[in-house]
Chain A
Amino acid sequence: MALNITANRADSTLLDLPWHEPLEEWDPALLAALPRGISRHVVRFVEVSGRVIAVKEIRGDIARREYDMLRQLRRLEMPCVKAYGVIDGRTTPDGRELDACLLTRHLQFSLPYRALFSQRLRPGTADKLLDALAVLLVRLHLAGFWWGDVSLSNALFRRDADAFSAYLVDAETGQLLPALSDGQREHDLDIARVNIAGELMDLEAGGVLEEGADPILISRRMVARYEQLWGELTEVERFETGDKWRVDERIRRLNQIGFDVDELAISTDLDGTTIQIQPKVVDAGHHSRRLMRLTGLDVEENQARRLLNDLDAYQAAVGRQNDSDEMVAHDWMREVYEPIAANIPRDLARKLEPAQVFHEVLEHRWYLSERHDMDVTTQWAFADYLAEVLPAKPDEQSVVGVDTVEMPVIALFDD
């Protein structure tokens, strides 16, 4: 059978990839080393015409079905990865048939949960991830999508100011129905509860779950959050035009369950005597959002500004203005930020948050450069800072709040 390419934007450079080889055997030089979640199929990232594409090796009919499903979801404006194409009819040179490949665009700025847990997290991140997943699930259910395999692995997370937003990445088991019954929603929630608890127990077994975090409680909270949000979003709230305070009341309630309401759709009934409201979830924070999207770092607005400046300087210094921002940011994280954030000695870790340390190291580098009248490397500045500055600082843990002792950094990209 001849190679058969279905792509929504045909790109001839796709043909240059070694489709006649099993994905597992592709030359690492072709691959972009980005983190992934748990999966049963082989998934790799490649760069095609400056874009990062995720390639999943999977049976042809399933690939096509998932491709169609992702496109339908996009049309419904659901947050999910963008389908890019299906490659079918693959055979090895000696005639062995290979599974098809589903191609999706790498979701820019997204992080799989396992990568998030390998970073030094601010407390409560697990909960925030699950809040995001609850929002995603509510949105999908409202659109009539019965997911069937709700899990952390099957979602991607994008920083969203103080929160995350979740994107669907694996639509393999999903069905679009005119509407879901309560039983069907409950079924998805059951699966979610078990999968999420399993995934968190796995992190726990791997020693990267925040100490004291209870997988079962967290997964239950996700369901509770879903139910609450489902109620808020589906309960028809109508009131007389005189009761406009109920708009604020609705927003307050949404705030209470963790959502900043940036936009509220308000409509009146035909006769104009009643009002109906529908909130949308948005958040603020220009710099922190950009930095979060690029690096997944969860830092304050001014820290973010500082880090972004350094990232820009790095991009200029290594001459990579034409590379995609997220690739550069990924490298900057590995080469510049992580060596600092991950190497703060445990006994000093209670002093400051890592991003704050990073900020101070940059300050310290400037100070050292001035004093020595020469450019000082960040590594040197960090070493000097650890030796001379940080030990003298007071513990700021209590300032930040209780329960801020965070887990040690352990990389977890072992699949």
Chain B
Amino acid sequence: MPTTTTSAPALFSPEWAEAVRDAVDRGPSDELRAEKLPTYWEWIDEVRAGYDDSWALVDPDLPAEFGGGPAHLLLQWERGRCTRAAIVGPEEAAGATYVLRATHEAWRELLDGADAGRMLIYRRVRLERGDVLQFFRGVYFVVEALAALGRVPARLDEVGRLTGDRQAYQ
């Protein structure tokens, strides 16, 4: 299900960042939760309860009409709530607990409904900075947050829509 429309906020705009904060903070709907066992969500709730880390999500080649790349979305978690989402510069992004990088093509795939977990497996989304073992202790929480981000409507380019062609993995 493509989540790109011409009226949606542009990818890496402040409006989009706030919509992402709201979506990841709210978590999945009851309908989405029902697709997986309750124990999976309980695991995520437990990880999330004391979560204080921050994530910087990077698009190294955001098109020029959107401000150009690299672009960085910073998401700050405090005791399990996403308290801040901002488009920041490289220095602030580098200070995040985890820096995740995806090519612009991979961002398009994520917004086009690609499986967020599979994107991590194929390193289409790549942990560029941060402790790998600690990151994976919260991995399903991150995956579900990326999936929620992917569902937030965003304008990706001047055409305002995706081709619908899912890129082959790797």
B and A form one assembly = no
